[in-house]
């Protein structure tokens, strides 16, 4: 089955700096890679996703890159703000209705 | 309108009891899931249903029995609860397996 590894497990950044979270996956059949943000006590919510036919996608301060050959993908948050503090999860899915999550990265933005 | 709703939000019960968590989605999605989030925040898939049919059963003890009476509902029944079952359980739905999953607000289960 799919195994998604995520690093780092915790990340502390100064407000205004960038944050980068990296994930690797094991199943070469995976072709959908979403990123979820979970604030304390809340449900996970999608912030951006990318499919295997795309190498990069950007939405305002958030960008995701995918390297299918190396089987890794990354989340980049620029100009971080205090409201970016949360747990971020990467995930990978194949066609069999199984979305496998990484272990999560706790991001703290210092004011 | 809540897209994915699950009840109850909190559940405290004694070891050995049987309990159920209900989930409903009004998004018209075909696929529904149950995830378990442990104290370390790890989100682990338990079950995946598509059009009321079980697609994924991720080595979950058979004390856990999901039931999907229709495409909009996926309930989770747990027998003989154990201390290790304490966690937050999330229901989610999506349109197929390769699109955004919408999560319910979670049910925090505490077994004492």
pLDDT of B1: 67
Chain A residues closer than 8 Å to B96 by CB: 97
B86: left (phi over 0), alpha (psi -120 to 50) or beta: beta
What average pLDDT does this structure show over A10-17?
A: 98
Split at pLDDT 50, 70, 90, the class of A1 is confident
Q: Which of B9, B36, B101 to mutate: most A Cβ within 10 Å?
A: B101
> With an 8 Å Cβ cutoff, is B10 touching chain A?
no
> With an 8 Å Cβ cutoff, is A29 touching chain B?
no
Which residues are bridge partners to B7 per DSSP? B22
Give the long-range contacts of residues B106-109, CB within 8 A, separation 24 or more.
B106/A43, B106/B6, B106/B9, B106/B37, B107/B6, B107/B7, B107/B8, B107/B9, B107/B10, B107/B11, B107/B21, B108/B9, B108/B10, B108/B11, B109/B11, B109/B13, B109/B19, B109/B21, B109/B78, B109/B81, B109/B85
Chain A residues closer than 8 Å to B43 by CB: 44, 89, 101, 104
Higher pLDDT: A99 or A20? It is: A20
Residue written as token pair 């496998």: A100
**Token pair listed for B86:** 């304490």
pLDDT 10s digits, A47-95: 999 998 889 999 999 999 999 999 999 999 999 999 999 999 999 998 7
> With an 8 Å Cβ cutoff, is A101 touching chain B?
yes
> With an 8 Å Cβ cutoff, is B27 touching chain A?
no
Judged by CB atoms closer than 8 Å, whether chains meet at B96 and A87 is answered as no
pLDDT of A94: 84
Contact A80, A16 (CB under 8 A): yes
Contact B62, B54 (CB under 8 A): no
Of A32, A51, A104, nearest to B42 by CB-CB distance is A104
pLDDT of A4: 96
What does A39-104 look like in DSSP terms, one character per residue? -TTS--EEEEEEETT-SEEEETTEEEEEETTTTEEEEEE-S--GGG-EEEEEEEE-SSS-EEE---
Chain B residues closer than 8 Å to A43 by CB: 90, 103-106
- For chain A, give the number of residues: 111
pLDDT 10s digits, B90-104: 999 999 878 899 999
Task: Tell me: pLDDT of A109 over 80.
Answer: yes
Contact B100, B94 (CB under 8 A): yes
**Separation between Cα atoms, residue A2 and residue B79, nearest integer Å:** 29
CA distance A78 to chain B (A): 23
Judged by CB atoms closer than 8 Å, whether chains meet at A43 and B98 is answered as no
Residue written as token pair 């979670």: B106
Judged by CB atoms closer than 8 Å, whether chains meet at B50 and A45 is answered as no
Kindly give the parts of chain B with pLDDT less than 50.
none
CA distance A1 to chain B (A): 10
Contact A43, B105 (CB under 8 A): yes
Of B45, B99, B103, nearest to A98 by CB-CB distance is B45
């Amino acid at each position: 089955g799919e195994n998604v590894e995520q690093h780092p497990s915790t990340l502390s950044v100064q407000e205004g700096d960038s944050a980068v979270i990296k994930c690797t996956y094991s199943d070469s059949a995976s072709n959908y890679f979403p990123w979820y943000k979970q604030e304390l006590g809340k449900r996970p919510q999608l912030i951006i996703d990318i499919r295997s036919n795309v190498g990069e996608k950007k939405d305002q301060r958030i960008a995701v890159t995918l390297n299918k050959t190396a089987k890794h993908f990354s989340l980049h948050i620029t100009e971080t703000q205090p409201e970016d503090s949360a747990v971020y999860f990467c995930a990978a899915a194949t066609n069999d209705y199984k979305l496998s999550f990484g272990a999560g990265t706790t991001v703290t933005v210092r004011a | 309108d809540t897209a994915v709703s699950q009840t109850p939000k909190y559940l405290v019960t004694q070891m050995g009891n049987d309990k159920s968590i209900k989930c409903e989605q009004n998004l018209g999605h075909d696929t529904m899931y149950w995830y378990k989030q442990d104290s370390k925040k790890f989100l682990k898939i338990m079950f995946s249903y598509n059009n009321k049919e079980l697609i994924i059963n991720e080595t979950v003890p058979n004390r856990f029995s999901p039931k999907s009476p229709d495409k909009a509902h996926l309930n989770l029944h747990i027998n003989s609860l154990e201390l290790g079952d304490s966690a937050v359980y999330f229901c989610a739905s999506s349109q197929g397996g390769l699109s955004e999953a919408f999560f319910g607000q979670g049910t925090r289960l505490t077994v004492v």
